[in-house]
């Protein structure tokens, strides 16, 4: 059934690509700065965190002795977290927000989460490309180990779409899910070693933070981009298993309740 859903999405690839293009254009059409806002927002966050935390955290980051090094550390976590949180935030509401489209047009509903991921991926690609350009100009590009980002990013996308689809279906029937996840994401950010290194936490707290699947993903990015080292692949295996389970559960929920969802919207 999962293969059938993916085949349906591929059949409607023109609809998906057109929706992605249209949404990207509409998002910034009436804005004076346009797509620059996707850079300004995370840049402002990184600047604030650098000013507030750099003096305190630099000494706790091995091999990081400058404000620039800590900023790269922040970018490695903040940009990828932004991609994750955008997918989750939008996927959990996508069926509700597109209720009119669902009721009026016949198309595979699985296209909607795919559109969410592709839109978020496009935004991420633009800002991450600028970050990579900065690494090249500043002489901090990690070299060939940079290619290790590809499997880590694919794993993050699988985890995000699996969790987002589960939340999206549940949110149609239980609207508190979307409200709750807004709060959860705020706590989740601070329970992920993005602003601080994992080693700075008390020994008793570190095993708990390691249970967070985003900890393994973010530390993998940090290893590649900050230290120029391949990630600890073994630490990503639990995330891979969890992603597979979430994708399977999400597909199952979607298949069983896609008809009921129309009545609830």
Q: Quick one: pLDDT at residue 1?
A: 46
Q: What are the phi and psi torsion angles at 10 (to 5°)? A: -65, -40
Task: Show Cβ contacts of residue 15 under 8 Å, excluding neighbours closer than 6 positions.
Answer: 107, 111
Question: What pLDDT, on the 0 to 100 scale, is given for residue 107?
Answer: 65
What's the chain's length in residues? 265
Structure tokens at 153: 């990013």
Q: Which residues contact 203 (CB under 8 A, 6 or more apart)?
A: none
pLDDT of the residue at 101: 75
Query: Strand locations in 70-216, DSSP E?
Result: none
Number of neighbouring beta carbons within 10 Å of residue 225: 26
Per-residue burial over 82-114, b = 16 or more CB atoms within 10 Å of its CB, e = otherwise: bbbbbbbbbbbbbbbebeeebeeeebbbbbbbb
CB of 220 closer than 8 Å to CB of 152? yes
Q: How far apart are CA 55 and CA 253, in angstroms?
A: 47
H or E segment at 122?
helix 111-138
92, 171 in Cβ contact below 8 A? Answer: yes
Query: Could you give the CA distance from residue 171 to residue 224 in angstroms, rounded to a whole number?
Result: 36
* Per-residue pLDDT at 261: 74
Q: How far apart are CA 96 and CA 24, in angstroms?
A: 20
pLDDT in 10s for each residue of the chain, 265 residues = 455 556 666 676 777 788 777 777 777 666 665 566 667 777 777 777 777 766 666 556 665 655 677 888 888 999 999 999 999 999 998 888 877 777 777 666 777 888 888 888 988 998 898 889 888 988 889 999 999 999 999 999 999 999 999 999 899 888 888 889 989 999 999 999 998 888 888 888 899 999 999 999 999 999 999 889 999 999 999 999 999 999 889 888 888 877 777 676 6
């Amino acid at each position: 059934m999962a293969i059938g859903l993916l085949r349906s999405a591929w059949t409607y690839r023109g609809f998906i690509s057109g929706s992605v293009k249209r949404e990207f254009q509409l998002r910034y059409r009436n804005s004076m700065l346009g797509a620059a806002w996707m850079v300004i927002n995370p840049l402002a966050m990184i600047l604030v965190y650098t000013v507030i935390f750099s003096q305190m955290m630099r000494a706790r980051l091995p091999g990081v002795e400058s404000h620039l090094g800590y900023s790269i550390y922040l970018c490695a976590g903040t940009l990828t977290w932004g991609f994750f949180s955008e997918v989750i935030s939008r996927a959990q509401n996508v069926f509700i927000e597109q209720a009119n489209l669902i009721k009026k047009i016949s198309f595979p509903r699985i296209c909607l989460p795919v559109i969410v991921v592709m839109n978020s991926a496009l935004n991420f690609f633009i800002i991450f490309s600028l970050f990579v350009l900065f690494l090249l100009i500043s002489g901090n590009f990690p070299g060939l180990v940079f290619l290790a980002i590809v499997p880590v990013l694919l794993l993050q996308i699988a985890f995000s779409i699996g969790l987002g689809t589960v939340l999206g279906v549940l949110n149609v029937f239980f609207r508190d899910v979307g409200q709750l996840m807004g709060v959860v994401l705020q706590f989740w950010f601070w329970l992920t070693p993005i602003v601080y290194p994992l080693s700075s936490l008390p020994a008793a707290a570190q095993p708990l933070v390691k249970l967070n699947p985003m900890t393994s993903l973010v530390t993998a990015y940090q290893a590649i981009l900050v230290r120029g080292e391949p990630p600890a692949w073994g630490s990503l295996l639990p995330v891979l298993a969890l992603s597979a389970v979430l994708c399977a559960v999400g597909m199952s929920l979607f298949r069983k309740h896609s008809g009921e969802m129309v009545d609830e919207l």
